[in-house]
Each structure stands twice: as C-alpha cells, then as structure tokens.
Amino acid sequence: MERSERLVMGIGIAVMAVFFALVLLLATGFGVDVPGCITEMKPFEQDTVFQTAEKRYEMHVIARMWSYQMPPVEFPVGSTVDIYLTSGDVVHGFHIDRTNVNLMAVPGTVTYARVRFRTPGEYPIVCHEYCGIGHQQMVGVIRVVQ
Ligand code: CUA
C-alpha cells in the first residue's frame, strides 16, 4: 500500500471517528433525538371525526404501517373538512383522489389540509410514500352522499 493511500484511509477513518463522536455527544450531552410521536398528545389520543358546524367537519387521522387509523367516514355533499394528519411510525403519504389533498404524514409533526367535497361519490385515499412491505395495501375511502 502506498503512502498516499494510507494517508487517505487515515483521514477517512479520522473523519468517521469525529462524526461518530459528534453523534454520541449530541445524543447524550444535548438530548438531541429523533422526534417523538405526537399521537400520544391530544387530539391524536384516538382517531376522531366530528362535526364543528353545519356541513363543517374536523378529521384527525393517524397513519401507521399500513393503514389509516380512521373510522369509516361519510360526509354530506358540500361539506368542508379540516384534516389533521400525523404518523405513528414512519413517513407516509395521504392523497385523496379527485381532490387536491396531498399530505405527508411525518412522525412528530401535524400536517393540515382543508377540502370541500362538491360532488357525491367515493373518494379513495392512498399512501403515496413508500413506507414498507405493506405500502400498496395502505388505502382508505371517504364517502360523500347527497
Ligand atoms: Cu404508508 Cu406507503
């Protein structure tokens, strides 16, 4: 092995050691950690859908591998729904077909969207972020009725 190769390898190992020491220092000395799961906090103690006014609803959804924790939902046509979304494990997606709702479900974070359902029918929900082996099964539905 040439001297320049040993030098490059030595620098590489030294840089890795510095980064590892920094990660350890941040994790132990400063309490820096990955975000906790917000689903232990209100309003995500349990999945909920409730009415706030006439044709106004609020929906709290928790995404977990590999489903959305939400009851079967049915809204009257013309309803406006405020959606609050979080994740209980990894990053998921939340796209409601036939609407412009396209959210990310991120652990430790709440994402929000407001949607008005103008036409009756079924609005499929799909996860659009690869979240593991059951990703393709992660679907839901919202029914809008007259
Ligand atoms: Cu959840 Cu893909």
CB of residue 136 inside a 6 A radius of ligand 1: no
Is pTM, for the whole model, over 0.75?
Answer: no
pLDDT digits (tens, 9 = 90+) for 20-71: 998 888 878 776 666 555 555 666 766 688 888 999 999 999 999 999 988 8
Q: Separation of 145 CA from ligand 1 center, angstroms?
A: 27
Indicate the CATH number for domain 36-145.
Answer: 2.60.40.420
Q: Separation of 26 CA from ligand 1 center, angstroms?
A: 30
For 107, which DSSP code?
A: B
CB of residue 81 inside a 6 A radius of ligand 1: no
CB of residue 130 inside a 6 A radius of ligand 1: yes
Q: How far apart are alpha carbons 96 and 54 in whole angstroms?
A: 22
pLDDT at 88: 86
Find, among 99, 100, 142, the residue nearest to 121 by Cα.
Answer: 142
pLDDT digits (tens, 9 = 90+) for 69-124: 888 899 999 999 999 999 888 999 999 999 999 999 998 888 999 999 999 999 99
Domain spans of the chain?
A: 1-32, 36-145
